[in-house]
Structure 1
Amino acid sequence: MLERDLYEPVYNYLELGFRDRLKPARGDLRHITAITANTGGNATGIWSKPDLCIISLSRQKYGLSWQIDLHGFEVKPQGACSVQSVHEALNHTSLVNFTHLVWHVGDWNESRADCSTILSRCSHYGVGLITFGAPSDLTSYVLHLPARRHDPSPDAFDEFVETRLSQEDRTKLLSWITELRR
């Protein structure tokens, strides 16, 4: 399978599986999931943007304010994941709060050299690691390592939203922000 063929199944996993990890136990979550691999922004260079993203707005039940977070996801097909892939995902921390490497690997085994090396590098840099065996089987997705928080500049965050999300998603996000500022 080509990388671009994995975007839709990974999108489905993010919508139906991953987003529940973002919701506070006793709070609210609003989110937008988007495939961003072929959208605007800086398209020069191989490490220019995540393939997918989730923007989440969350609030604890008794919290006073909402938190906005941007998660980026770098997708790699079988046979195409390496330490370079970890660095590619790491580069996205200039744009997103949390970056994840999503690897299609049919036979994950942490004792295998490639799996161990990828896991070690992700852990070192705070890159989340998600693997899956069957793209359309949501039960095959495994979060091996959660991503650590990074803090891109507010201008980089805005630039990402402005250039990589559809007009419809930007309008929805802006309406939520306007509503929640009251």
Structure 2
Amino acid sequence: MNTDDLPAPATEANWSEEQGATGLSLKDRILEQLPVDGSLKPNAELLSALGADKQDFWSARELLVEEGKAVRGRGRGGSTARVLDAELTTEPVDEVGAEYALPRQPEDALYEPLKKVLLGDWQSDKGFDYLAVEDVSRAGRRITGGKWTRPDLVAVEVQVFTYLPVKTLSVHTFEVKPSDMIDVTAVYEALAHRRAATHSYVLLHVPDDQQPPVALEGVITEARRHGIGVIVFADPSNYDTWEEKVVADRTEPEPAALDDFVRVQLPEAARSKIEKAVR
């Protein structure tokens, strides 16, 4: 990711221009919109009520999270809740969201819109900072170790922490399944990726959340047992229809396996960004 394209660091000063007639900053306006009982409010509703620029909203919301005044929640498009107790550090688990129903789409048609959301609202909502998100489903002639060792999408992040003297490489893999191919096999494919990934997810197309596939509950149960993340979506290009059913556990693969995964699976441009970021 070119640092010239990144938004300015989130600081209180950034929001002086966002003050409205009330004199409140965007950060304070978000807090004002959050229910006083600590219940979740969908991010889409917050954006609509505030009329704010989406990227400004994510940055201001992240400030509230960093200050311990708000927490991220799940549900379609994600959600936010007010912190009522200073000791509260976990995310609310209630699920919120609207109903959507879209027709079945072929798997390869899902990749590009999913990539855009992963690089946009998904990483903004979750606090990630991806260097790249790549479609590696069609690896061409590259020898990648077999079908189940190759995910559909891969996202890479290099984190720098204030009190740790090292840079941390995170690799997120995503196994995508269209609506008529949802079964527990997706979990086992994602599980195979964890040999060289820190987080593994399945991304499942569920066009109608009122009539989910019969196998969905089994997928969720098996994924939870293995620490695999589960995300369902109605519209691959609209984060408001995404819902994180299971949060992926972080694993620590062998450094050699992680290094080899990057070398074999990712294109040269992505490898170059990673190499620069970890130096």
| TM-score (norm: length of structure 2) | 0.57
- Give 1:146's aligned residue: 247
- Of all paired residues, the percent bearing the same amino acid is 25
SS of structure 2 residue aligned to 1:47: helix
SS of structure 1 residue aligned to 2:278: helix
Matched residues in 1 for 2:249 and 2:117: separation?
A: 20
Would you say 1:42 and 2:144 are equivalent positions? Answer: yes
2:235 maps to amino acid: A
Distance 1:58 1:110, change over 3 A: farther
| Pairwise CA distance, 1:125 | 0.5
SS of structure 2 residue aligned to 1:144: strand
1:97 maps to amino acid: T
Distance 1:113 1:30, change over 3 A: closer
Matched residues in 1 for 2:251 and 2:237: separation?
A: 30
| Pairwise CA distance, 1:165 | 1.3
1:140 maps to amino acid: T
2:156 maps to amino acid: I
1:48 maps to amino acid: T
| 1:136-179 deviation line (CA, Å, top 9, x unaligned) | 2221111111101122221211111111211111112111112x
Would you say 1:56 and 2:144 are equivalent positions? Answer: no
Matched residues in 2 for 1:126 and 1:142: separation?
A: 17
Would you say 1:136 and 2:136 are equivalent positions? Answer: no
Q: What are the ranges of 5 or more consecutive residues in structure 2 without an aligned counterpart? A: 1-104
Kept after mapping to 1: 8 A contact 2:151/2:173: yes
Kept after mapping to 2: 8 A contact 1:3/1:77: yes
| Pairwise CA distance, 1:34 | 0.9
SS of structure 1 residue aligned to 2:181: coil
Would you say 1:164 and 2:164 are equivalent positions? Answer: no
Matched residues in 1 for 2:212 and 2:205: separation?
A: 17
- Give 1:26's aligned residue: none
| Pairwise CA distance, 1:37 | 0.9
| Pairwise CA distance, 1:30 | 5.2
Choose from 103, 116, 120 the match for 1:12: 116
| 1:53-95 deviation line (CA, Å, top 9, x unaligned) | 1111112345443221111000000110101111111111112
- Give 2:189's aligned residue: 88
CA RMSD, aligned part only? 2.0
- Give 1:114's aligned residue: 215
Kept after mapping to 2: 8 A contact 1:108/1:115: no
Taking CA–CA contacts closer than 8 Å with sequence separation of 6 or more, which of the two structures ends up with the larger relative contact order? 1
| TM-score (norm: length of structure 1) | 0.85
| 1:92-136 deviation line (CA, Å, top 9, x unaligned) | 111211100000011236997422111111100100000100122
Q: Which moved more, 1:106-115 or 1:133-142?
A: 106-115
More strand by share: 1
Distance 1:125 1:91, change over 3 A: same
Equivalenced residues, count = 172
Q: What are the ranges of 5 or more consecutive residues in structure 1 without an aligned counterpart? A: 24-28
Larger Rg: 1 or 2? 2
Kept after mapping to 1: 8 A contact 2:206/2:232: yes
Matched residues in 2 for 1:148 and 1:60: separation?
A: 19
